[in-house]
Amino acid sequence: MNRRDFMKTTMLAGAASTLAVREAQAQTSANDRLQVGFIGVGARAHQLLREVLAMKGVEVVAMSDAYTGRIERAQSRVGGKATVYRDYRELLANPSVDAVFIATPDHWHKTMAVDALAARKDIYIEKPLSFSLADGQAMVEAAGKSDRILQVGSQGVSSPEIAKARELIKAGKIGQVTMVRAAYNRNGDSGAWLYPIPPDASPATVNWDAFLGPAPRRPFDLPRFFRWRCYWDYSGGVATDLFVHLVSWYHHALDLTGPSTVMAAGGNYRYKTTHEVPDTVNALLMYPQGLTANLTCTFNNADGTQSGLEILGTEGSLALRDGGLAFTPEIVHDDNRWVVASWSEAAEKAYYDDPKVQAVESPWLKPGSLAGGTERWQSQGRDDTYTHIANFFASVRSRSKPVEDAVFGHRAAACAHYVNQSIREKRVVTLTS
């Protein structure tokens, strides 16, 4: 696919114009109540569920999952009030369900989202939007033909620090941006998705066929079920699970749509017996706007490079880490002493007498002074997941565009798919204009 075709498929809907939390549910009436269902109630879904239950005017009335233990725990959290469905299609057929949360392995996303749109349900779908480029294009097309809301769940897009970064960039505070550096590093089995497997997991409690769905047929395998991110059949690994967050952040902050060139390298250096996907990835994404993004991740060292996002401009830098934002101005000085010292004395004097030179040469030419320092902001209040879900429900009620629609989600996921393509094919991926 060339870049022109990519852009065509992603122009079916616009991005959201505001990130303000539009918490209309604070004013909801009884007949404004939203009834939602959960398709997939794994670990991430339980985090979403916790935030949903904290919101007014929303009731969880239905859920479906391929493991009974998750259903039992989710039911206990909603007071046993939700109807449990063995097949998600039966949940979608329930006319009382207004919206669904899709929090399943990636390989199910397209089928479930398209089915939900056909059933006229609004959708909150966990990132990445898609399992493949083709799946993402199909989802964008389905969303574009529907009047339903589809919001992708890269919750950082609704964070106050990303909103502030966007504001500073638009105001010209950091000058021309030519580089983005982003990292998402971990060290240890839990960070590498080798989650503990519940002791009651067995063919009696795990619906293996429901998990596999459109994936290739394989024998019953508990590690594949509970650690699905480690396998190409269900996940894009580091790129789709972690890089998509980073790409979503800087795409929104910088109003980017997609790269023109992607090159990446990666390998499985430590988890050879448990992972098909790489445990270490380095990627370069070059954008036609005139900047390069450098994305890195390893599961083998958490402290050597700080996780987070840096946006580097000619006038300053933005660093987003641990729920905070820092702006550091560039103190730019020229110092040509070592060159000018080789000139004649007259030429050297004439050089330093020039007011233009005095304006840009190093501070040693001027009286002592203090330069501007780093400014910092720290997020407070509800976390990004709550804010992102609140924005989703506000869009559902107002029928306005969500903060992270299918087009935005497709563009972010496409970057991850190009990274994996470059790794697996050992070549530079170029999107022609």
CATH of the domain at 182: 3.30.360.10
Q: Quick check: is 337 in a domain?
A: no
Which token pair is 30? 């009884």
Instruction: For residues 15-27, give the mean pLDDT.
Output: 36
Q: Is residue 235 domain-resident?
A: yes
What is the DSSP track for 294-349?
Answer: EEEEESB-SSSS--EEEEEESSEEEEEETTEEEEEE----B--HHHHTTS-HHHHH
Could you tell me if residue 97 is inside a domain?
yes
**Quick one: 84 and 69 in the same domain?**
yes
- Provide the CATH number for the domain around residue 39: 3.40.50.720
pLDDT tens digit sequence for 67-88: 999 999 999 999 999 999 999 9
Q: What is the pTM of this model?
A: 0.90
- With beta carbons less than 8 A apart as the criterion, state whether 258 and 283 touch: no
- 292 and 395 assigned to the same domain: no
**Residue 32 pLDDT class (50, 70, 90 cuts):** confident
Whether 41 is covered by a domain: the verdict is yes
Better-scored residue on pLDDT, 366 or 343: 343
Say whether both 165 and 72 belong to one domain. Answer: no
The answer to whether residues 114 and 168 belong to one domain is no
Q: What is the predicted pLDDT for the residue at 150?
A: 98
Range of the domain at 36: 17-158+383-403
Tell me which range, 66-70, 358-362, 370-374, is most confidently predicted by mean pLDDT.
66-70
Q: Are residues 425 and 320 in the same domain?
A: yes
120 and 184 in a common domain? no
Is 426 part of any domain? yes
Q: Are residues 266 and 399 in the same domain?
A: no
Residue 9 falls inside a structural domain: no
Co-location of 32 and 173 in the same domain: no
324 vs 330: CA distance, rounded Å: 20
- How many separate domains does the chain show? 2
